[in-house]
């Protein structure tokens, strides 16, 4: 197997793992969004929260539709789906976080900051199968918070800088997780190829042994037949010589 073929198999396996995780990601996202709306409902304008929930819900409906089409082989799997959907999801989290923080209360600031930061760190585990997908989600998610704090005076600018550093650290971790996963998949494929090669060689060896046994049996039958055919004239000659001796 060439390096290109192996890379393609690894990439296809990464897409398969992303598809397998997608249902959990969608369910977890909707659960967190609903709980967040319940917590923010007394403090924020209801129309803002309803719009945010509606947009996230619509995005996840589209996600489910694409996954259903993949399952039915109606659409071909492509990484662009994950990049685009994760990018839109990041924009909704980052945009929502930015507008929520404009309300200015300390409770909302703490809750929203922790909420978005938690989503970004959870994304390291759920989206790092393909780190570019994680980048598409995490960068816009943290941008809203970072811009909010950087625009404020005093210690807020340090908080904004810390948010950027936090994002960079998580992106590095995501890249490392992807590399570890790729090496694991590569080793698994190489082991499977080795097992298949050994099974093929075993089958060839068994076939060769059976052919050798068959040839040996044929050889024995031939020698037995030849020995019988050779003994007949020799026996006749022996009887003839014995007859001549008796006549003399």
For the cut 80, the answer to whether the pLDDT of residue 217 exceeds it is: no
Three-class SS state of 103: coil
User: With the CA atoms of 180, 183, 185 and 189 taken in that order, what torsion angle do they form, in degrees rounded to the nearest 10?
Assistant: -170
Average pLDDT over residues 69-79: 79
Looking at residue 93, its pLDDT comes to 93
For the cut 70, the answer to whether the pLDDT of residue 144 exceeds it is: yes
Average pLDDT over residues 15-34: 88
For the cut 90, the answer to whether the pLDDT of residue 16 exceeds it is: no
Burial state string for 15-39 with b = 16 or more CB within 10 A and e = fewer than 16? beebbeebeebbeebeebbeebbee
Q: Name the pLDDT band for 209 (thresholds 50, 70, 90).
A: confident
Looking at residue 223, its pLDDT comes to 63
Looking at residue 57, its pLDDT comes to 93
**pTM for the predicted model, two decimal places:** 0.78
CB 128 within 8 A of CB 134: yes
Q: Name the pLDDT band for 160 (thresholds 50, 70, 90).
A: very high
For the cut 70, the answer to whether the pLDDT of residue 46 exceeds it is: yes
Report the distance separating Cα 53 and Cα 45, nearest Å. 13
Report the distance separating Cα 121 and Cα 141, nearest Å. 11
Looking at residue 192, its pLDDT comes to 85
Looking at residue 95, its pLDDT comes to 92
Report the distance separating Cα 221 and Cα 30, nearest Å. 79
Distances (CA, A) of 229 to 212, 223, 238: 25, 10, 15
Looking at residue 232, its pLDDT comes to 62
């Amino acid at each position: 197997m060439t390096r290109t073929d192996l890379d393609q198999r690894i990439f296809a396996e990464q897409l398969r793992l992303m598809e397998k995780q997608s249902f959990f990601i969608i369910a977890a996202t909707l659960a967190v969004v609903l709980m967040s709306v319940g917590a923010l409902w007394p403090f924020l304008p209801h129309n803002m929260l309803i719009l945010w929930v509606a947009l996230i819900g619509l995005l996840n409906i589209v996600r489910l539709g694409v996954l259903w089409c993949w399952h039915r082989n109606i659409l071909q799997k492509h990484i662009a789906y994950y990049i685009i959907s994760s990018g839109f999801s990041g924009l909704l989290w980052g945009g929502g976080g930015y507008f929520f923080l404009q309300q200015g209360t300390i409770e909302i600031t703490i809750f929203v900051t922790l909420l978005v930061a938690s989503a970004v760190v959870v994304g390291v585990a759920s989206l790092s199968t393909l780190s570019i997908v994680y980048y598409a989600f995490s960068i816009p998610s943290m941008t809203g918070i970072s811009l909010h704090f950087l625009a404020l005076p005093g210690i807020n600018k340090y908080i904004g800088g810390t948010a950027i550093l936090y994002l960079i650290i998580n992106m590095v971790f995501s890249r490392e997780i992807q590399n570890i996963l790729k090496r694991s998949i590569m080793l698994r494929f190489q082991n499977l190829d080795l097992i298949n090669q050994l099974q093929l060689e075993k089958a060839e060896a068994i076939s060769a042994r059976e052919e050798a046994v068959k040839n040996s049996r044929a050889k024995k039958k031939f020698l037995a037949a030849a020995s019988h055919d050779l003994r007949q004239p020799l026996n006749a000659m022996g009887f003839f010589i014995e007859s001549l001796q008796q006549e003399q």
